[in-house]
Amino acid sequence: MTTVPPTIPFLDVRAGYVELRTEIDLAIARVLESGVYILGDEVRAFEHEFASYCGAAHCVGLGNGLEALRFALMALNVGPGDEVIVPSNTYIATWLAVAQVGATPVPVEPDATHNLDPTLVERAITQRTRVVLPVHLYGQPADLDPILSIARRHGLRVLEDAAQAHGARYHGRRVGAHGDVVAWSFYPGKNLGALGDAGAITTNDRDIANHIRLLGNYGSPQKYVHEIAGANSRIDPIQAAVLRVKLTHLDDWNTRRSAIAAHYLEALRDTPLILPTVAAGVNPAWHLFVVRSGRRDALQHALTEGGIGTLVHYPKPPHLQGAFASLGLRSGTFPIAECLANEVLSLPIGPHLQPDHVSAIIEACHP
Ligand SMILES: *Cc1c(COP(=O)(O)O)cnc(C)c1O
């Protein structure tokens, strides 16, 4: 007799809706009944609640995470001729935002945590550098203290890409206001995910917050007054209402993620896999659980055959993508990022992953 292998999706975003269906349906109905479908009280309430969750003075809701990064760079006055230090190993959005304001991304390789190596930042600084842009990749905060002190010493600003790190802590304090400005995405698959596109920035700097609010809303502090040439990139009030519900469950959901990560870390110790390195003093949000293997493709194939969904974050680093061909950064220029692209594999993790599925994944990872 053959047993049917379990079918374990990499991530089931619908399960988050199903768990909170009653609350979410009520929140959406409240917006529909209100007749306010752009900005309004729901957006204001979400901004207030998310800022206070992050320990930031200000939050501005925006259309998506890429726009949050782009507007943050604009608010920091980054433009053509400027350079921004970015991780060589990240989702391409980080680099695209830099390119879209006309500046040049200057890559720095990661350390064992897969995040920007602070010891390599200083040598990447030139006369043109304006901003250091660490990413809290896979949900683990980058090493912010040394990055902030290098930036201060060189008169640079720090923009954090926190699209994968909702609720993560660095030295006890939640990510959200360590640097000058922090960019967030609420893409459905993130730890705090909307039911569509949404994003935000958080900051302690009132001027930056006000500037970004104008950029996202036609440069308009009041109807038919346009102070700057802004865009239209506002958070949708329906998404804000959904996010308000989900925010009250974020810590609980992150705790479930941590428990799964702890289980993997313990149970996969005796495999040849290289497991995630967690720096002292940080609490990752465990957006992804990323292992490394020299036989990655074979492992992924075997897991797929066993009904287990996995993904690669990311199969090709930004400097080798067509979008950045004009930088002329050939294969071999960022060997760590290039090696990671060949070796990393993300195992399923999430607040709705069943314990028996976690056991099945662990078993399938033992050759
Ligand atoms: C998801 C993500 C973004 C972009 O967010 P969108 O809302 O999809 O535009 C940016 N940076 C990182 C690291 C991300 O994971």
Identify the band that residue 178 occupies on the pLDDT scale cut at 50, 70 and 90. Answer: very high
| Res 340: pLDDT | 98
Quick one: pLDDT at residue 2? 57
Q: pTM for the whole thing?
A: 0.97
Site to probe by mutation for ligand 1, drawn from 13, 66, 67, 136 as the one with most ligand atoms within 8 Å of Cβ, is 66
Domain 249-365: assigned CATH number: 3.90.1150.10
pLDDT over 90 at 1, yes or no:
no
Residues 91-120, mean pLDDT to the nearest whole number: 98
What's the confidence (pLDDT) of residue 367?
76
The pLDDT value recorded for residue 4 is 61
Of 103, 101, 157, 167, the C-alpha closest to 134 is 157
The conformational region for residue 39 under phi > 0 = left, psi -120 to 50 = alpha, else beta, is: left
Could you tell me the distance, in angstroms and rounded to a whole number, from the CA of residue 93 to the centre of ligand 1?
A: 6
- Probe target for ligand 1 pocket from 71, 161, 166, with the most ligand atoms within 8 Å of CB: 161
% of the chain with per-residue pLDDT over 70: 98
CA distances from 130 to 45, 191, 200 (A): 33, 30, 22
Where does the pLDDT of residue 346 fall: very low under 50, low under 70, confident under 90, or very high at 90 and above?
very high
What percent of the chain has pLDDT above 90? 98
- What band does 185 get if pLDDT is binned at 50, 70 and 90? very high
Q: Give the residue extent of every domain in the chain.
A: 15-247, 249-365
Query: Mean pLDDT across the stretch 292-308?
Result: 97
Q: How many CB atoms lie within 10 A of CB 129?
A: 20
Gap from CA of 91 to ligand 1 centroid (Å)? 7
In eight-state DSSP terms, residue 116 is B
Give the other-Cβ count within 10 Å of 256's Cβ.
Answer: 17
- Mean pLDDT estimate for the chain: 97
d(CA 74, CA 79): 7
Nearest ligand 1 atom to the CA of 67 is 9
For residue 98 and ligand 1, the question of a CB distance below 6 A is answered with no
Q: Is 239 touching ligand 1 by the criterion CB < 6 Å? A: no
Query: Is there an atom of ligand 1 within 6 Å of 64 CB?
Result: yes
Q: Tell me the pLDDT tens digit for each residue of 125-177.
A: 999 999 999 999 999 999 999 999 999 999 999 999 999 999 999 999 999 99
Question: What fold does the segment set 15-247 form as a domain?
Answer: Aspartate Aminotransferase; domain 2 (3.40.640)
Is the pLDDT at 3 greater than 70? The verdict is no
Q: What is the pLDDT of residues 5-49, one digit of tens each?
A: 669 999 999 999 999 999 999 999 999 999 999 999 999 999 999
Q: How far is the CA of 192 from the centre of ligand 1 (A)?
A: 12
Ligand 1 atom closest to the CA of 135, numbered from 1: 13
